[in-house]
Structure 1
Amino acid sequence: MKKFQMPDTYVIIFIVVLFAALLTHTVPVGKFQMHKVTYKTETGVEKSREVPIAGSFAYELNDAGKPLIKGVKFFEPGGNVGISNYVFEGITSGDKWGTAVGVIAFIIITGGAFGIILRTKAVEAGLISLIKKTKGSGNWLIIFVFLSFSLGGAVFGMGEEAIPFAMVLIPIVIGMGYDAITGIMITYVSTQVGFATSWMNPFSVAIAQGVAGIPVLSGAAFRIFMWVFFTAFCIIFTLIYAKKVKANPQSSISYETDAYYRKEFDLDEKQDIKFTFGHKLVLLTVVVGMAWIIYGVVKFGYYLPEIATQFVIMGVVAGIIGVFFKLDNMRVNDIAVSFRKGAEDLIGAAIVVGMAKGIVLVLGGTSAGEPSVLNTILNWVATGLSGMPAALCAWVMYIFQSVFNFFVVSGSGQAALTMPIMAPLSDLVGVSRQVSVLAFQLGDGFTNLIVPTSGILIAVLGIARLEWIKWAKFQIKFQVVLFILGSLFVLGGMFIGLQ
């Protein structure tokens, strides 16, 4: 009897595409009327968004005057979306500011830039030096990185920025005797915990509060307590897990795939590696570059185009230092070769971003003003909630936002699509708008840790050389715990009258 082989991420997404296509043949399409809302950000800047009008949903009608079921075909010419078109249409959708083509370009370019940095062997030499000095103890590294990245997720919506950090930190923690799971926890998971529990994230809670018509930064005290609680809980969880893996490395589900980095950073073979002045300059370039990126994001609102360019500059400067100091006999052509190799390592993850966007396109897209299956589902949920008790309604809002995040991974996109419907609905069922925002941000943020449609998650898993299905096996238990705790906070917000 052959051993069951877990499906590849591409296979999983294709199955979801088939399911989405089936929905289009059974669920009628509909749309909302749209209007513009304005709100002020936490810095006092006025912004506006086109959002749906609550209660304005209407089915698209066919020639017979009945709700239109617009089933997608297997193949569609002329740039339209069919089942077989989902890969190309997904990859080429959007613009340079977001999914899919912008995120794809960002992943490939940052992968190339860090390919150059890793080629200098500065990270490797620095790691060997660090392990020698700390005797392999990494508890303080885990605490510091997790806390810093969680704060980044809470303050400025750190997400894509975790990708390059993962390229450096995942090999480091594996070299220190931990595993890729530990590396993913302190890089990607930490940012999403901060993202989910933020009191000021400009890409999530701030937009949700603005669209919902409540003051931005309101309810901050409750959310700051929530951030402290979840960050502390996850740090303790990570420390316990890391200690267990270090004591028994083979207990890790990533033990086999970690072999690549264990071999790369084998201390017994590389005890004689010297941490030279050139290596220090490369790492200084990385530190200064990261500080520049954070400053640009916070001060000027830099996003994918600017950050990708900053990484290119960082990579080229590191390459020039590597050539000048002849780090690992590096030559000028090695800059180009290592950039290409770094980009190649993440091309698979980049393609997943486009494929995942293809799921949404098959369903008709995420525009509330255009007929789609997602709009119909959103309206069905809103209608179903209207007859529930207040506390149960708040909890179901949390469940809905968690599930809906599978299709609309963008925090700002999900806020703009769902909050104009959920906020006025919450008034009718006795749920405060603040609690409806809380249900949104927790549902949106925590499920970013497991949904295969998250391009950032897939990119980080690609760096860790870990299949999504293996990550999901580890993450599902963690998700259950987060869901229970998130439910308690949503219900707690209800019972204390969070406004």
Structure 2
Amino acid sequence: MDKKRKKKFEMPHTYVIIFFVVLFAALLTYLIPAGTFETKEVTYDKSGSEETRTVLIPDSFSVAEENAQQGTSLFEPFGGAGLLNYVFEGLVSGDKWGSAVGVVAFILIIGGAFGIIMKTRAVEEGILSVIDRTKGKEVLIIPIMFFLFSLGGAVFGMGEEAIAFAMILVPLVVALGYDAITGIMITYVATQIGFATSWMNPFGVAIAQGVSDVPVLSGTPFRFTMWVIFTAIGTFYTWRYASAVKKDPTRSLAYKSDQYFRDDFEQKDLKVNFKFGHALVILTVVLGVAWIIWGVIQHAYYIPEIASQFFTIGLVAGIIGVIFKLNNMRVNDIAEGFAQGAKDLLPAALVVGMAKGIIIILGGDDPATASVLNTVLHSAGQVFEGVPEVISAWLMFLFQSVFNFFVVSGSGQAALTMPLMAPLADIAGVTRQVAVLAFQLGDGLTNIIVPTSAALMGTLGAARLDWSNWFRFIFKFQLLLFGLASVFVIVAVLVNFN
């Protein structure tokens, strides 16, 4: 047995994978000179309101001679970014509006809020009630949830919010005989399919169109058709997989990690005991989610506001739990639930900081600051000149897919790449609308697999699934999405999508 165990290949831990990527990034700093772009402010109209973004000027690239071939040192004091500084510098980088420190706080607060909610046992009782009421109809949960989450990704750019929903739906689908992977598919993966194929996503396609001087929200019929097809294929793929797992749970890559959820139900009384207090907690969550959606759509609420909204939901749920003595809750249990929930998502939060360290080692993602990433961006742009239209458009899609590993933020990637891709599309003979399409498909779909995605790692943390196992499962589906997206990009060129 020991010999067999030694011979068996074991996927490396996510932290190990990121460490070696950081080493590779450090090596690139010795081989590729750092470069800079000049920037300018671009103003565009979005749904009647004026929006402004800072973007790079495509023809302004220059190599920063003083930084060329300097390379990354092993360690830097006084807040510098050496190789061994990548974890700390990654964790404290950015601000409350984004990666990494803002997203880290977001993940921990969501984890804490749902830790309180789980302490009330309202979720477990709700799940048992759903199981009792949907016997023989469990399979309907998959298409309904996949459609709703895909719609959320398409309409208001749903992404990080999927972490919270995974905390509820993963235990539910496991209890129904499926697995955590099914739960991730109907929540996070569905949101990213909607995000990538959206006709109105305010954080992706709308910004890319505005920056590229394309009428914002134009091309809706083509994109809406694309969303329907991608969502239908994603739903069918998930349903077929879930059905196979339900027949034989041991074939799931999440079978071992799902034991946590199975044990959670086995250790408790499985008789339905859904009380009025449990209903109030569930109602609090539903109304809270409605409040969040309203804030995002009406007032563009983002990480700081949404995190505080989730904290409020958790706090109210905890107070209800104490008043109605749900699961014999006391006031101190609110604090203990928050601490335990945050602890459960700490590994995912650390991944966010480590992944951001990759970008810091490469010099950051500011076009006006000398970085290897700027040089890579400029060099990639030169590839498209003199290439046939269809090939150019597909290469744009390929580039955006790869570049998304480094800059996962949809709005950030749009501001960095579209000022360069839009004029290159003119040179290559394809419409700027096609360039925007290549961006949104490349940006959105690879969020499903890249370990640098904070939302993905947070969802995996909620599902207690290691990224290496997720990669083994999702790789085939990712290839399917890549092929389908390639077809749409090529069709868009052939029909002169404008």
Match of residue 91 from structure 1: 91
Match of residue 234 from structure 1: 234
The Cα of 1:136 is off from its aligned counterpart by 5.6
Rounded to whole Å, the distance in 2 between the matches of 1:135 and 1:334 is 34
Rounded to whole Å, the distance in 2 between the matches of 1:265 and 1:39 is 53
The Cα of 1:460 is off from its aligned counterpart by 0.6
SS in 1 for 2:167: helix
Q: Would you say the 8 A contact 1:203–1:412 is kept in 2?
A: yes
Match of residue 32 from structure 1: 37
Match of residue 127 from structure 1: 127
Rounded to whole Å, the distance in 2 between the matches of 1:214 and 1:70 is 39
Instruction: Deviation per CA, 1:317-372: give whole Å up to 9, x if none.
Output: 11111111111111111001011000000011101101100000000000111111
Rounded to whole Å, the distance in 2 between the matches of 1:401 and 1:266 is 46
Rounded to whole Å, the distance in 2 between the matches of 1:137 and 1:490 is 38
Structure 2: runs of 5+ lacking an equivalent: none
Residue 452 in structure 1 maps to residue 451 in structure 2 = yes
Instruction: Deviation per CA, 1:445-464: give whole Å up to 9, x if none.
Output: 00000000001101111111
Match of residue 293 from structure 1: 292
Residue 424 in structure 1 maps to residue 423 in structure 2 = yes
The Cα of 1:239 is off from its aligned counterpart by 0.8
For normalisation by structure 1, the TM-score amounts to 0.97
Match of residue 50 from structure 1: 54
Residue 118 in structure 1 maps to residue 122 in structure 2 = no
The Cα of 1:273 is off from its aligned counterpart by 3.7
Higher deviation after alignment, 258-267 or 6-15: 258-267
The Cα of 1:138 is off from its aligned counterpart by 2.1
SS in 2 for 1:385: coil
Rounded to whole Å, the distance in 2 between the matches of 1:273 and 1:152 is 31
Match of residue 283 from structure 1: 282
2:182 maps to amino acid: T
1:46 maps to amino acid: E
1:402-441 paired onto structure 2 within 5 Å: 402-441=401-440
SS in 2 for 1:46: strand
The Cα of 1:172 is off from its aligned counterpart by 0.6
Q: Would you say the 8 A contact 1:153–1:194 is kept in 2?
A: yes
Rounded to whole Å, the distance in 1 between the matches of 2:147 and 2:383 is 39
1:185-334 paired onto structure 2 within 5 Å: 185-266=185-266, 270-334=269-333
SS in 2 for 1:308: helix
1:137 maps to amino acid: K
Rounded to whole Å, the distance in 2 between the matches of 1:394 and 1:362 is 30
Rounded to whole Å, the distance in 2 between the matches of 1:70 and 1:492 is 44
The Cα of 1:95 is off from its aligned counterpart by 0.5
1:156 maps to amino acid: F
Q: Would you say the 8 A contact 1:136–1:177 is kept in 2?
A: no
2:73 maps to amino acid: K
SS in 2 for 1:39: strand
Match of residue 15 from structure 1: 20
Rounded to whole Å, the distance in 2 between the matches of 1:243 and 1:112 is 33
Rounded to whole Å, the distance in 2 between the matches of 1:100 and 1:231 is 30
1:23 maps to amino acid: L
SS in 2 for 1:218: coil
Rounded to whole Å, the distance in 2 between the matches of 1:230 and 1:19 is 34
Match of residue 108 from structure 2: 108
Q: Would you say the 8 A contact 1:131–1:137 is kept in 2?
A: no
1:182 maps to amino acid: T
1:453 maps to amino acid: T
2:394 maps to amino acid: W
Q: Would you say the 8 A contact 1:28–1:376 is kept in 2?
A: yes
1:133 maps to amino acid: R
2:421 maps to amino acid: M
Rounded to whole Å, the distance in 2 between the matches of 1:69 and 1:44 is 47
Match of residue 163 from structure 1: 163
Instruction: Deviation per CA, 1:372-393: give whole Å up to 9, x if none.
Output: 1111111111111112111101
The Cα of 1:137 is off from its aligned counterpart by 3.2
Instruction: Deviation per CA, 1:18-77: give whole Å up to 9, x if none.
Output: 000000000011111111111111x21111111111121111114xxxx81130100011
The Cα of 1:266 is off from its aligned counterpart by 3.5
Higher deviation after alignment, 269-278 or 452-461: 269-278
1:29 maps to amino acid: A
Q: Would you say the 8 A contact 1:175–1:266 is kept in 2?
A: no
The Cα of 1:78 is off from its aligned counterpart by 1.5
1:476-487 paired onto structure 2 within 5 Å: 476-487=475-486
1:49 maps to amino acid: R
